[in-house]
Amino acid sequence: MDIMQAIGKKFGYILCAVLLIHLLEFGDGAKRKDWTGKLIFEEHFNGEKLGRNWEIVGNCEGKGHKDTNLECFTTREDNVRLRDGLLIIEAWPEEWHPKELWAKSKNFTSGKVKMINELGYQYGTFVVRARLSKGNHLLPSIFLLPAYQDHDNCKYEEVDIAQGRGQRTSTVIVGAYFGRQWNHASSRKTEKAIRNTDFSAEFHEFTLVWKQYRLEWFVDGRLIYTIPMYYYSDWLLQDESNLPCNMNKKLFQQELQLNFALSVGGSMFPQAGYGDLTLDDAKNWTKPTLEIDWVKIYDH
């Protein structure tokens, strides 16, 4: 058991903010992985509008109760658009008042895009070519969620193919969550710093290889992290408060689908380490966009 998992079991909550950063350096001689298998999905985001495989998400509640993100996701072109063969998600410092009477207004807007509910994949290789964000408290995310999550409130699984903190553009965060709900889950994740790399300046390939008993993450074809999934007990908190309450308790064996989002603030930016996000900070964001060039999914 690694130190992050041990701490998570002791305190019984998701560890989002405190990650050990591991420095990697890819030399010219580093071996690059070539992807094999049948290409079962491909998207290059050409055209003027998203195709039928995608849905733009609009809400202010994020993941729900206790979500501390500062943005509202909107369906406006200012926040989500196609341009020059790219899917562009952009964050703005602006007050947003949701239509729902119960929803809170927020001071930032951004965007989220997900696959439609009919699309879901069990196992496979997910490759996304993307350029991440740069700016205080920006969190670009490329991740997988259950395709039928609206029908299951008792089991939560999430796999982060790539996340980045806008203050640390040479690092990438990868990992997975398992539990009853998003705020009652255990996590196994890491933050990797890659020397001489700025993920906001150039496009990079972020890859997840999802096997029955193993998750593997790659950046530009080089392996950076692996999680074995042989033992169910490895994912249970000490008090088992994250134990799913439905009958299917198996690890990462349901269909998952791709999501892209650019969040502002939240638990990945604790006040003690990052301070508060001010309006002046946001007005000076260097690159408040997450850009997706293409997506490819291979069957094993």
Tens of pLDDT, residues 186-204 = 889 999 999 999 999 999 9
Using a 10 angstrom Cβ sphere, with 0-12 exposed, 13-18 middle and 19 or more buried, the burial of residue 101 is exposed
Residue 139 has, within 13 A of its CA and on its CB side, a CA count of 22
Q: What residues contact 218, with CB distance under 8 A and at least 6 apart?
A: 33, 205, 206, 207, 208, 209, 224
Rounded to an integer, what distance in angstroms lies between the CA atom of residue 5 and that of residue 288?
Answer: 32
Residue 10 predicted with pLDDT over 50: no
Q: What local confidence, expressed as pLDDT, does residue 137 receive?
A: 98
- Examine residue 50 and state whether it is found in any structural domain, yes or no: yes
Judged by DSSP in three states, 270 sits in: coil
281: left (phi > 0), else alpha (psi -120 to 50), else beta? alpha
Q: What local confidence, expressed as pLDDT, does residue 238 receive?
A: 77
Rounded to an integer, what distance in angstroms lies between the CA atom of residue 98 and that of residue 19?
Answer: 33
The count of domains in the chain is 1
* Per-residue pLDDT tens digits for 56-99: 999 888 765 567 899 999 999 999 999 999 999 999 999 998 87
- The pair of three-digit structure tokens given for residue 136, joined into one six-digit string: 């205080």
- Examine residue 29 and state whether it is found in any structural domain, yes or no: no
Report which of residues 224 and 179 the model is more confident about.
224
- Examine residue 162 and state whether it is found in any structural domain, yes or no: yes
- Examine residue 63 and state whether it is found in any structural domain, yes or no: yes
- The pair of three-digit structure tokens given for residue 282, joined into one six-digit string: 């946001």
CATH of the domain at 210: 2.60.120.200
Alpha helices by DSSP H, 38-195? none
Q: What residues contact 101, with CB distance under 8 A and at least 6 apart?
A: none
Question: Do the Cβ atoms of 288 and 89 come closer than 8 Å?
Answer: no
Residue 284 predicted with pLDDT over 90: yes
- Examine residue 89 and state whether it is found in any structural domain, yes or no: yes
- Examine residue 27 and state whether it is found in any structural domain, yes or no: no
Report which of residues 262 and 251 the model is more confident about.
262
- Examine residue 28 and state whether it is found in any structural domain, yes or no: no
Domain that holds residue 155: 3-22+34-299
Taken as a whole, the chain contains a residue count of 300
Q: What local confidence, expressed as pLDDT, does residue 207 receive?
A: 98
- Examine residue 90 and state whether it is found in any structural domain, yes or no: yes
